[in-house]
Amino acid sequence: MRDRDRAAGRFSARDYGLPGEKGDVLWQRESCRVQLPYPISLGHKCGEERFLSGAFTISFQKRESGWLTQNGNHRLLLDADSEAIFDIQLTNADILIGRGEASFALTAESLAWTTRMGSEPNDASMMCDTFSEDTRQGEARIRGLSYEGFDSNGSVRSKGLNFNFQSAWNAKNKSLSEVDGQWAQNGEWNDFRVSASWLQNQGAGCVDVRPNQPVNNTGAVCHYRDAHWAQDAIRTSFPMMQTLLTLLERNPACGFGSANVSDHPAITGEVGSTEGVVTYEIQAPCLIDLRDATPVEENCHGETTEVSGGIWVTGTKTTRGWVTGNPSQPVIPIGTQATTYHLELQFDDFHYETPHFPTITYRSGVLSGDIAPTFGLNQTTGICDAGTASLSMENMIWHDATISVHEAEGAFHTQFREAAFQGSRGATQKGTNSFHGSVRTSDSGNEIYLPLDDKRGHIDNRFLRFQDSAQCVPFVTYEPSEEQCDYLNVLAQKAGQAILESVAHATQYVQNDNLICGFSAPDVAGDAMETEGQPGEVGRRSWKTGACENNLDTLVVSEDCTGNQVLLAGGFEFQGQMLEEGLLVSDQEGSRLIAQEHDALTLEIGHLSFHDFELVSRASSAQEWILFDRFEIHHGELQGKYRPIRGANAEEAGQYDVHTPVAQFEKIDVQNTQLQLELNGNVFQMVVTEGMLGGTRGAFDGSANEIFGRLLINGRWVQLNHVPYDTSFEQESFDATYVCEPNLLDTIPKD
């Protein structure tokens, strides 16, 4: 019980109960003598204005029930079961009531009445937060009443009636009970009773005593406040869960990012397949313990989320996608919601405060269910693993929750025994910015369906504000399509690069290194050569080779000026011709061709088949080789044109015959090719049923570092619209790889 007195004890208010819980407030004022020497208006009734003058002593008491606040100016929040009881007593009354042209002089020992009012729905808030006269009930008691009635001339119209009586009414049913009492005249007391039917007949015009009339036709529903607060707790669970997932991933002791969990994944699916699943499990309860208020997140508007308290967590994290074979990233997710958490959380005074949501302390209770965050596309890696604020929650169950909801009037404490809900914050595969479910609270006891209000179950009341506050991280595509997120676009670029690199190095090996059946073999370089044109003219020479079989042990086929190496292994068969254009010269040194353009040499690939072919690129460091990429073509059939771009010879003016890594690819037709890519420790298997590729390695003739065309990979066409040949390409670094070539006059011009 708390006393909060006003006016030096003449008016007092006393609380019965504790702040934040249900209780009563009692207002009192005792024995206040009122003097009205001049008439005051009491308002109009039935078209007549009424006045009051005289003197009386009044005692007043009002008792209201509801939720006790910590605000002295707003002591109580009303609820569906709130009630106001008014007790008013006038004693030693000597008053004059004017009514139109007539008046009444009343004297009484005591005039007392009690009125009860219930709460009524507020259409806007869907709460019972006002009192209604339509729910009024009451009774009146009069003792020792005498009166005289005067007409407009001041003549006495009636007098001498001295009586006691009592009555009761119920405005909710628009009914008035019988009036019982006693009256006295000439010193003799008599009992009387006035029936309700008589009152009804006499009440036409001014007294509405019709029974059983509806008083509220708005259809408004009045839910208990604890149902609204339970809904607030459920709605706030959506941003809170996103925060908890962040904390779980960061927790180095027992979270999903801890060694105890991340080092023991359960993986299904073969390395390189797209149907893999990796599951991490927190078996022993993991404590998130933030005893002091801790800022954990800041949104794009600079608004901060703060948490404190504790939560015990157990559960699993499951991701579907490409099985990589990489222990640090066993599966690369396919899709925006490829990861699902199944969690059970036990709360221990966990306080959560985030912008635009109710501030809630989850005192106790257990929450379990399935949570699927929505990820954005990381434009740098091509993987949909960039965190967003969107998620969907399914099969969510609260048990025995005790919460404190913090409002302007203070903290209010309530419980809900159980709740079941699901929904989506933001835009997800399951829905957009909505939730629904049911809750069973302590007050109502019945199952209440959610949402309660007219906002159609919106989680964020201003959805555009939410999107604007959560989508500002650079190099992230928010709400990407499923095709953007299946990682095949990234792998298609890598597959295109692997195919073109394999074409380039296999063809160069046939051109320069195979002395048995390659273009440098005596039988091919000499006897198979054909010349078109006359000495002193621009002409062409061509060399043809039949089915040239190449079987390699691991062999370093190139090393550039920065120490990077390319190694080949496995087998391939080449059939095609080499064409070179230039000035035909015949002198004492013999007949030869001087190439006069960077792109004077073309290798036409009639047939190139791979079998267990492997290409490895690596770089040297002070201690060891660092693997860049590893490509394997288990089998494949290709044809097309490969054009190496050669540099100007510093020793032979006008001659372009110095090897560079710059190259162009034209109409590379791909058929029935099975690839395995190893990228940064990740392994991927792909089947390219068919495709057509072109592109440029390096930069030449206005084309720079690009692949274009399309590939049918794993049954799906992927368009390569001038994607980077090398995602790490920088022109200066690329030029540095070949500036040391003997006799090179200058690097290749870009245009």
Phi/psi of residue 220, each to 5°?
Answer: -70, 140
> Which of the four pLDDT bands, split at 50, 70 and 90, describes residue 249?
very high
pLDDT tens readout for residues 254-264: 999 999 999 99
pLDDT tens readout for residues 475-496: 999 999 888 888 888 889 999 9
- Looking at residue 684, its pLDDT comes to 86
Phi/psi of residue 620, each to 5°?
Answer: -95, 145
- Among residues 515, 556, 337, the alpha carbon closest in space to that of 425 is found at 337
> What does the alpha-carbon distance between residue 30 and residue 11 come to, in Å, rounded to a whole number?
8
- Looking at residue 488, its pLDDT comes to 85
pLDDT tens readout for residues 346-382: 999 999 999 999 999 999 999 999 999 999 999 888 8
> Which of the four pLDDT bands, split at 50, 70 and 90, describes residue 213?
very low
Written as six digits, the tokens of 634 are 């288990």
pLDDT tens readout for residues 322-350: 898 888 889 999 889 999 999 999 999 99
Written as six digits, the tokens of 292 are 């002091």
Largest CA distance in the chain: 163
Give long-range contacts, CB 8 A cutoff, 24+ apart: 45-52. Answer: 45/206, 46/205, 46/206, 48/99, 48/100, 49/100, 50/97, 50/98, 50/99, 51/97, 51/98, 52/95, 52/96, 52/97, 52/98
Q: Is the pLDDT of residue 121 over 50?
A: yes
- Looking at residue 205, its pLDDT comes to 40
Q: What is the pLDDT of the chain when averaged over all its residues?
A: 87
- Looking at residue 199, its pLDDT comes to 45
- Looking at residue 455, its pLDDT comes to 55
- Among residues 394, 357, 388, the alpha carbon closest in space to that of 373 is found at 388
- Looking at residue 487, its pLDDT comes to 85
Burial (Cβ within 10 Å: 0-12, 13-18, ≥19) of residue 436: middle
By the 8 A CB rule, do 656 and 697 touch? Answer: no
- Looking at residue 457, its pLDDT comes to 87
Q: Is the pLDDT of residue 102 over 90?
A: no
- Looking at residue 10, its pLDDT comes to 58
- Looking at residue 171, its pLDDT comes to 61
The DSSP 8-state label assigned to residue 453 in this structure reads: S
> Which of the four pLDDT bands, split at 50, 70 and 90, describes residue 89?
very high
pLDDT tens readout for residues 424-481: 999 999 999 999 999 988 766 688 899 986 556 899 999 999 999 999 999 999 999 8
> Which of the four pLDDT bands, split at 50, 70 and 90, describes residue 177?
low
- Looking at residue 679, its pLDDT comes to 76
- Please indicate whether residue 345 or residue 7 has the higher confidence score (pLDDT): 345
Q: Is the pLDDT of residue 697 over 90?
A: yes
Determine which of 124-133, 280-289, 417-426 has the lowest per-residue pLDDT on average: 124-133
By the 8 A CB rule, do 147 and 156 touch? Answer: no
- Domain extents in the chain: 2-202, 225-483, 488-669
- Looking at residue 209, its pLDDT comes to 35
> What does the alpha-carbon distance between residue 572 and residue 570 come to, in Å, rounded to a whole number?
7
By the 8 A CB rule, do 233 and 405 touch? Answer: yes
- Looking at residue 505, its pLDDT comes to 95
pLDDT tens readout for residues 605-637: 999 999 999 998 887 765 566 556 788 999 999
Tokens 């339509």, residue? 134
Q: Of 7-21, 205-219, 409-423, which has the strongest mean pLDDT?
A: 409-423
Written as six digits, the tokens of 743 are 């006799």
- Looking at residue 18, its pLDDT comes to 94
- Among residues 476, 313, 460, the alpha carbon closest in space to that of 391 is found at 460
- Looking at residue 395, its pLDDT comes to 98
Q: Per the omega criterion (within 30 degrees of 0), is the bond before 522 cis? A: no
- Among residues 632, 720, 716, 725, the alpha carbon closest in space to that of 271 is found at 632
- Looking at residue 557, its pLDDT comes to 83
- Looking at residue 161, its pLDDT comes to 60
Q: Is the pLDDT of residue 179 over 90?
A: no
Show the CA angle centred on residue 477, arms to residues 473 and 483, nearest 5°: 155
Q: Is the pTM of this model over 0.85?
A: no
- Looking at residue 208, its pLDDT comes to 37
- Looking at residue 4, its pLDDT comes to 44
> What does the alpha-carbon distance between residue 255 and residue 289 come to, in Å, rounded to a whole number?
12
> What does the alpha-carbon distance between residue 356 and residue 365 come to, in Å, rounded to a whole number?
24
Q: Is the pLDDT of residue 698 over 90?
A: yes
> Which of the four pLDDT bands, split at 50, 70 and 90, describes residue 142?
confident
In sequence order, what DSSP letters do the residues of 515-576 get, joined into one string?
Answer: TTTSTTSHIIIIIT-EEES-TTSEEEEEEEEEEEEEEEEEEEEEE-TTS-EEEEEEEEEEEE
pLDDT tens readout for residues 39-72: 888 887 777 888 889 999 999 899 999 999 998 8
Average pLDDT value for residue range 187-199: 55
Q: Is the pLDDT of residue 211 over 70?
A: no
- Looking at residue 732, its pLDDT comes to 95
> What does the alpha-carbon distance between residue 426 and residue 238 come to, in Å, rounded to a whole number?
10
Q: What percent of the chain stands above pLDDT 90?
A: 59
